[in-house]
Amino acid sequence: MRWGELRVALQGARLVGDGEAREIRAIVADSRQAGPGALFVAVPGVSVDGHRYLADALGRGAVAAVVERAEALPAGLPGAVVTDARAALAQLAAAWHGYPSRRLRVVGVTGTEGKTTTIELIASILSAAGLPAGMVSTVKARIGGQEIDTGLHTTTPDAPDMQRYLAQMVEQGARYALIEATSHGLAQRRVDACDFDVAVVTNITRDHLDYHGTFEAYRDAKAMLVRHLAAAARKPDTPKVAVLNVDDPSFGYLRGIPADRYLTYSLDGAADVTLTEATQQARGWRARAITPAGAFDIETPLVGRFNLYNVLAAIAAALSQGIAVSAIRAGIAAFEGVEGRMEQMDLGQDFQAVIDFAHTPNALREALEASREMTRGRVIVVYGCAGLRDRGKRPQMGEISGRLADVTVITAEDPRTEPLDAIMAEIAAGCEAAGRREGEGYWRIGDRTEAIAYAVAMARPGDLVLVTGKGHERSLCFGSTETPWSDHAALRAALTAHLERQGGPRNHE
């Protein structure tokens, strides 16, 4: 594609030089990836400013550049000056791939908790309806039946990767694209030019204040998904729909953002989609959904009351697309859950062992409340808090586990360059505030392997051990080094050792 064709995507940009006939062979935001024919987009990052690497990109063969500061553009190099290089990168990537989202119906899901489960529920419903869909979550991408790893830590892929995934979905014949949008992904414009048709918001509670600064700024980042509806390209017979949680404090704020249609859901009040007669089963729930399409019974194997919100959000999203009730019911019943989300591990031990991803105060509270519903014995929780992230949540989480769990084992969770002992001390302060004492109600064991083994070793018949904070993730970050890690492997090893000490697995109901 020639520069003259590509730069049309940059509406409002100030163009410098001509170079219209220059052939662009790749779009890059990392100068090390530049080669002959590259277009380099100088993105000011959190710790690295791309403008510093313009000369390097030029030296590697870049033939044009997009910058935020005109004086940074090397003399004689054609380019464009924009107000937001990240947004420009997304628009350029979309143009490069022929605006793939305009040939798909795009459903976006954001929120503090429940994003991945909700998007997987929607995917299951679409599958039951016979509608081919691609998905990009913070866990993985799934396109044409193939799964693609999207990275070590949960985040939304960068704009060039996102547009490439969307193009692959089109090539594979998908009719829908499902995108999980994090607050970082939204604020950093990674999902710009995705032309959303449905925006689903699960909830907005405290998270990532280290990056956003205030809760209001974090909420505004989440709200960008709903704002994208008005800016997105129009598609034939496809209204722009916002799916909102009436029970969340952000509802009034989000409801004020323009959309063609709003579908609301609630467990506690009046809304378009609600549940009645919700009854806990041995595993999961049975309930009756009250919807604009009529009332119908549903069953889900998902545990925890909080998952009923995810089910409601998925029902509302499906109804917005005119999907039959039979497919909605089948899709919900078929979905067993997401890896690392209240996932049970049973090797024959006489207590329950569960892995979850809860790493915010609200998510920890919900996971512990769900755990309490699942057992008559003690709840033993193992978790930590990430370094270089929101410090204010640490004592809050300590207080929550001190109040809701019988035993808390505080350990490492990506301490990065912060002293692990200091992080654990802040969590411990919260446990103390809840009336717990070290060596009785809580312990500090920095080694995560040892912490999980300790929790398993103290478990009695009928107890529940909850290991949370990492979920599906496959690394722990110490300093600036990512070390291979798996909560699944660590818990499995601890359970195996426990069973060997006990003389083998027990038969139990």
Helices vs. strands in the chain: H and E counts, helices first: 16, 24
Looking at the chain, the whole-number percentage of residues with pLDDT higher than 70 is 97
Q: What is the dihedral of CA 386, 389, 390, 391, to 10 degrees?
A: 70
- pLDDT band of residue 206 (cuts 50, 70, 90) is low
Looking at the chain, the whole-number percentage of residues with pLDDT higher than 90 is 86
The answer to whether residue 152 scores a pLDDT higher than 80 is no
The answer to whether residue 70 scores a pLDDT higher than 80 is yes
Q: What residues contact residue 66 under an 8 Å CB cut-off, 6+ apart?
A: 10, 13, 39, 40, 41, 42, 79, 80, 81, 82, 85, 88, 89, 92
Tens of pLDDT, residue by residue over 81-107, are 999 999 999 999 999 999 999 999 999
Q: Residue 367 — φ and ψ, nearest 5°?
A: -65, -40
The answer to whether residue 358 scores a pLDDT higher than 80 is yes
Q: Can you identify the CATH homologous superfamily of domain 3-95? A: MurE/MurF, N-terminal domain (3.40.1390.10)
Tens of pLDDT, residue by residue over 235-263, are 999 999 999 999 999 999 999 999 999 99
Is the distance from CB of 115 to CB of 180 less than 8 angstroms?
yes
Average pLDDT over residues 172-201: 96
Q: Note the pLDDT of residue 209.
A: 63
Its CATH architecture, for the domain 99-334, is 3-Layer(aba) Sandwich (3.40)
The answer to whether residue 47 scores a pLDDT higher than 90 is no
Strands 294-300 and 285-291 come out as antiparallel
Q: Note the pLDDT of residue 154.
A: 55
Write the single-letter amino acid at 407.
V
CA-based torsion, 58, 64, 68, 73: positive or negative: positive
Opening angle at CA 371, ends 370 and 377, nearest 5: 140
Distance in angstroms (rounded) separating the CA atoms of residues 187 and 332: 31
Is residue 296 helix, strand or coil?
Answer: strand
End-to-end CA distance of the chain: give it in Å, rounded: 64
Distance in angstroms (rounded) separating the CA atoms of residues 41 and 158: 13
DSSP notation for 442-455? EEE--SHHHHHHHH
Q: Note the pLDDT of residue 138.
A: 79
Element (H, E) at 128: helix 115-128
- pLDDT band of residue 506 (cuts 50, 70, 90) is low
Q: Note the pLDDT of residue 250.
A: 95
Report H helices in 375-486: 393-404, 420-433, 448-458
Q: Note the pLDDT of residue 508.
A: 43
Strand partners, 266: 274
Distance in angstroms (rounded) separating the CA atoms of residues 442 and 449: 17
**Lowest-pLDDT range of 17-21, 25-29, 347-351, 406-410:** 17-21
Average pLDDT, the chain: 94
CATH fold for the domain made of 343-502: Protein-Tyrosine Phosphatase; Chain A (3.90.190)
Write the single-letter amino acid at 179.
I
Considering only CA atoms, which of 391, 465, 448 is closest in space to residue 425? 391
The answer to whether residue 509 scores a pLDDT higher than 50 is no
- Give me the residue spans of the domains in the chain: 3-95, 99-334, 343-502
Is the distance from CB of 96 to CB of 90 less than 8 angstroms?
no
CA-based torsion, 314, 320, 323, 326: positive or negative: positive
